[in-house]
Structure 1
């Protein structure tokens, strides 16, 4: 039994895996919407007329969305493949790292996508501003704030 929750280690691992899988579902919905948008763009006349830099930004966003999809779905695949093998602790440790990496790829994919949109609509300066503000927002809310909110050791 763990002292803080009164549950066995196995129950705690089961609950933690369930929480991680639920968190991945939330993030994966964002990836799916973004990925669908990015895939549909290539079939437009405006995309065919885009310059090489804009097409490169688009491909970068697509590849980051693919990486995010791979990283965010890997722990679910591991859980299914390793079901009842007693590997929950290893799934949690490795899954935590892949989910964090997947969220970083998602933040970058979104940043590149909104930067591309700003470039096409308003130009290079807008691209830099929108990209910088987006990256700053993700960095502050997804990294800095959680780091500051973590419990401090006495």
Structure 2
């Protein structure tokens, strides 16, 4: 739906929306790539031997979630390249938006799980579960619930 306050064509709106989305994805991709690299190296650190079965499972969850997040956050690039110059920009923007939201969801879990592993090594399993849960709730509220509530307020 075109914004009546903007003087732009549908093509200009799609170009702007895609540009904004790509800028947002650059920020998210950098974060998930740093997290993923950290997780990949973590298993080769000396102290990783101290991680118990709980910590190892949470580590594997963090690793897989970081992989899924990275995949979804980078997917718009491949999607755009495959449909480039096929008059499908609206589909690219819509699909890339879904990929970005799913990628942020997986990133939320990956960050919470990574914090859980670290707190498990540093303190205890109880502290790890508490800290990881607080991190998950914080990110869900910040990244999803606040925007959702604002959208509901605006609609009505």
For the aligned pair, the TM-score class normalised by the smaller chain equals over 0.9
Counterparts of 2:138 and 2:6 in 1: how far apart (Å)? 34
TM-score by length of 2: 0.92
Q: 1:3 Cα shift? A: 3.0
The answer on whether the counterparts of 2:32 and 2:66 sit within 8 Å (CA) in structure 1 is: yes
The answer on whether the counterparts of 2:51 and 2:120 sit within 8 Å (CA) in structure 1 is: no
Q: In the alignment, which residue of structure 2 is the partner of 1:44?
A: 45
Q: CA RMSD in A?
A: 1.5
Counterparts of 2:67 and 2:145 in 1: how far apart (Å)? 25
Counterparts of 2:41 and 2:33 in 1: how far apart (Å)? 12
Which has the larger displacement, 59-68 or 1-10? 1-10
Which has the larger displacement, 66-75 or 42-51? 42-51
The answer on whether the counterparts of 2:65 and 2:110 sit within 8 Å (CA) in structure 1 is: yes
| Cα distance change on mapping 1:68 and 1:111 into 2, 3 Å | same
- The ranges of structure 1 where at least 4 consecutive aligned residues each deviate by more than 3 angstroms after the TM superposition are none
Unaligned runs of 5+ in 2: none
Q: 1:126 Cα shift? A: 0.5
